[in-house]
Amino acid sequence: MKEFLEKLGEALLISEEFPEYSVDEKKLKELFSRLPLHIRIFLRLSATFLDLLPIFGIFLGKKPQRMCKMPVEDRKRYLEKISRSKLGLLRNSFLIMKLLAAFLYLERDDVKKNVGCFVPIPNKKVRKPNIPEDGILEFNKRLGELRLKCDVAVVGSGAGGAVVAKVLSQKGLNVILIEEGFMPAPSGDIFDSLLNLYRNSGFQITIPLSPTQPLILLPSGRCVGGTTVINEGTCFRIPDSVIKSWNSDFGLDIDLEEIHRYFDRIEKDLNVHRASAQLVGKASLKIAASCEDLGYSYFPLNKNISQCEALGLCEFGCPIDAKRAMHVSYVPLALNAGAKIYTGLRVESMEFRGRRITKIGGKIFARNGEFLGNFSVEAESFVLSAGAIQTPHLLLKNGLANSSGLVGKNLHIHPCFALIGIFDERLEGWRSVSQSLAIDEFFEEGFLFEATFLPMSIGLSSSYIARISEITGLWDRTAVLGVMLSDEDSKGSVRVLADKPVILYRLEKRDLQKAQKALLEGCKILLSAGAKKVITPAYNFPIITKLEDIGKIVPNGFVWSAYHPQGTCRMSGDPFRGVVDSYGKAHDFDNLYIADASIFPTSVKVNPMLSIMGFAMRTAERIAEV
């Protein structure tokens, strides 16, 4: 693998302006050791496939040779051809290996300093609530059986679980939080963040339902605070129109005034406010000026931040704790009210008697992955807040709460892609808060633009461009426009395979049509802002210099990522049409609740953190009443 990556990286990245390409073998081994087996197999098969494919050129009268044995110029031409292939398998293999090769090289400090996008981390921490010494429990020695009892056991400490724990513990209930990950300590090192804060080190992907469909990267958090630690801190309230449609289409009784009261409380707790011009940054202000010229509606985004230093690292854990993620806000408040959080505990089993869950259990792990023992928790009530992938996986694994047959079905995500404008002037887009502006001109048509910025190692892997050395030196002149689709006719589900969750997803016609229009409008915005060219995610036309080129682009050939999985345990007033009721209580059990994005019947159309928290607070209030 090391040899392949170095030969690949040499062809993609090296120029006279940059340091020699090499792979840190220690980091490569550490990364592979954290990846699940099926991801490791996929990476090794992709490397072997791309390396050996040129041998078959013998049937076309060409010299048979491995890619790794080709002269560098031949390698460049070969990879360029692969990146433009009409075969999705070839493009996906190229993309995943390009991502790995680029990341391992471009995250080196000497390379970032060479390009000029190295940001020193201030030696400070934003004040947060104190945490009791005995509030967080982490194990590093072999145990026997850890047996726990409480009033309410909450699985997961992200946007849903942290809120439930805080509300119920402040009402005097004995609450235990069960968390598979550990307390984060972000340092600003992106490699370290991927290993320790992300599930599967960031390599969580959807499996396409046909050979022409793309793989979609679907990252999520695995740490105390969950995905709130690695999101951009963008705070939208769920649109009233979405809640009204749920009430009418799914027989729910969600009171708008009540849910907005919860939003008011949460926004106050998290210090939610609009991003200032300083935090928006010079690159995004270019986009704002373009929207003014085009007459497009836009606004600064609401962020849950305090004393932000505009380090551009929101999605890798804020190193100064300026983002009020759950591990520095609601989790400490819950612990100060008497809750306990047990880290390194992976829930695997659920037991029941009649209509009551009686016990959950699983395995205990150290930070290094060493198995330490088993645990069980008995409680009066149980709340699953593990997210829209892990929550249905746990229920399906145990064959529970699925009389409707809908657990794991109805997966909604927000498919996304990035457009990168390259300008003549230095913009230093990383000196900003991640996701700073929203352009909602086309919101009713099903897509939202969010001006943001990506680390060089990630951004240069968001296109099919093979010779990325040609744009690496221009990264200080770029502005990034993210496109987020609200999926409409696309289909997805969560299944169980070999005891692991498998995410299936298929992009359908109407969503691909929205992507086509979003690409056109996004290119228009960036070109109007003064970009000399726009890097697109399309394989057959990766660089746009004029709007007339758009018609040649095939949306199904995009580089996609996605966020905000929802819907896999949806709410409904009818037990045959949903898994839980409008308060998140399972139809099949009297003491089992779900408080995460899996309960949303359809896409919420916006970044969902605040929506998850609002509904979790509503669920917690109902549990306290019961």
CATH number at residue 292: 3.30.560.10
Query: Do 505 and 599 have their domain in common?
Result: no
- Angle at CA of residue 203, ends 593 and 604, nearest 5°: 45
Summarize pLDDT for 249-299 with one digit per residue, the tens: 999 999 999 999 999 999 999 999 999 988 999 999 999 999 999 999 999
Query: Do 542 and 586 have their domain in common?
Result: no
In this prediction, residue 490 carries a pLDDT of: 93
Query: Do 241 and 380 have their domain in common?
Result: yes
Query: Do 293 and 208 have their domain in common?
Result: yes
Q: Is 284 helix (H, G, I), strand (E, B) or coil?
A: helix
Full residue range of the structural domain in which residue 51 is found: 1-106
Residue 113 located in a structural domain: no
Query: Do 173 and 262 have their domain in common?
Result: yes
Residue 231 located in a structural domain: no
Looking at per-residue pLDDT, the higher value among 215 and 532 belongs to 532
Instruction: Identify the CATH number of the domain in which residue 172 sits.
Output: 3.50.50.60
Query: Do 160 and 87 have their domain in common?
Result: no
Gap between the Cα atoms of 425 and 408, Å rounded: 48
Residue 514 located in a structural domain: yes
Decide if 505 contacts 413 (C-beta within 8 A): yes
Bridge partners for 452 per DSSP: 480
In this prediction, residue 61 carries a pLDDT of: 62
Residue 70's identity, in one-letter code, is M
Query: Do 365 and 480 have their domain in common?
Result: no
Summarize pLDDT for 328-355 with one digit per residue, the tens: 999 999 999 999 999 999 999 999 999 9
- Domain boundary pick from 91, 106, 121: 106
Query: Do 371 and 258 have their domain in common?
Result: yes
Summarize pLDDT for 395-418 with one digit per residue, the tens: 999 999 999 999 999 999 999 999
Gap between the Cα atoms of 161 and 156, Å rounded: 5
pLDDT at 59 over 60: no
Gap between the Cα atoms of 166 and 151, Å rounded: 14
The H or E element containing residue 90 is helix 88-106
* Domains: count for the chain: 3
Gap between the Cα atoms of 39 and 1, Å rounded: 14
Query: Do 98 and 203 have their domain in common?
Result: no
Residue 462 located in a structural domain: yes
The whole-model pTM stands at 0.94
Summarize pLDDT for 38-50 with one digit per residue, the tens: 888 888 999 999 9
Please give the share of the chain, as a percent, with pLDDT higher than 90.
66
Residue 524 located in a structural domain: yes
Residue 449 located in a structural domain: yes
Residue 579's identity, in one-letter code, is V
Gap between the Cα atoms of 276 and 303, Å rounded: 10
Summarize pLDDT for 197-214 with one digit per residue, the tens: 999 998 899 988 777 788
Strands 500-506 and 561-566: unpaired
Where b means 16+ CB within 10 Å and e means fewer, 576-600 reads ebbbbbbbbbbbbbebbbbbbbbbb
Say how many Å lie between the first and final Cα of the chain, rounded: 56
Task: State phi, psi for 60 to the nearest 5 degrees.
Answer: -110, 15
Query: Do 550 and 610 have their domain in common?
Result: no
